[in-house]
Amino acid sequence: MLKLEAPAKVNLFLEVSRRRPDGYHELATLFARTGVSDTLSFRRTGRPGIRLAVKGGPRELGRAEDNIVHKAAVRFFEAFRLEPDAEIRLEKRLPVGAGLGGGSSDAAAALLGLARLYKVPRSGFRKLAGIAASIGSDVNFFLLGETFAEGRGRGEKLKAVKAGGRLPALILVYPGAPVYTKEAYGALELGSPADIKRRLADLGRLRALLRAGRFTRERAGLLFNRLEDPVLPRHKAVRDAKARLAALGADAVLMSGSGATVFALCWDRAKARKVAAAAARIRKYKVFLTKFC
């Protein structure tokens, strides 16, 4: 039996610069890996086929064949021309439709777990990136294995960002109702060219501060998410969660990805515990007190 964690991410920065001819959007984002995760377990059964069992999630996430983990497994075996005899167990802790990349992280963990289970040589791991890009835009970030990375293109063109210094505690709040990516991008209006240029300069400053170990609460104003523009007016639960975390005294509050999760940063650990405890008392909120890892 092989077991892997599939961590959640947040986006410390997310700007959308244009709509692409292929139907996707051109992004500039800063991914950050968190200490909250799903868990995947793998074993070989000696019986032909791929068997996926899911524990947790809405109605156990429907048919196994429709799950992104199953799709990733199918593509893995096709790409490496291997006969499958695998059982995968997925334990879901991350909410669905939460902007935390749970499905993408599960898919990446599936690829990595199967590569180890079937003893794919290290040189073959490069092929995983191509499989990941065909599954979803965020999957390659989770393959990268870095705490922070800047993403361009659809988010699949990545550069690791090595952070120094003391990082803040992280509080994730899922307000109880999902926001779907297609809806958020469908209602998005792009910023003006001047505004986009200014925001991209902010991303450069944020990246430099992280690398220099000088990302402090005074610099938290550089955090940004363009997708708040279409989501917050349409989703009261997300809007209220952001306002409540700010009112509780968090140093910075931002929606992650296309929502619905809102995250807060606190440079003081005691304050972070108080903010998380107060948020957890609000009905329907799912709260995680964690860190970047």
Give the active site residues. 9, 138
How far is Cα 91 from Cα 68, in angstroms, rounded to an integer?
14
Burial class of residue 126 in the structure, from the number of CB atoms within 10 Å of its CB (0-12 exposed, 13-18 middle, 19+ buried):
exposed
**DSSP at 292:** B
Residue type, 98: A
How far is Cα 109 from Cα 281, in angstroms, rounded to an integer?
32
At residue 106, what are phi and psi to the nearest 5 degrees? Answer: -60, -45
Q: CB 190: neighbour CB atoms within 10 A?
A: 16
How far is Cα 170 from Cα 257, in angstroms, rounded to an integer?
15
How far is Cα 35 from Cα 50, in angstroms, rounded to an integer?
29
At residue 5, what are phi and psi to the nearest 5 degrees? Answer: -90, 145
How far is Cα 286 from Cα 170, in angstroms, rounded to an integer?
14
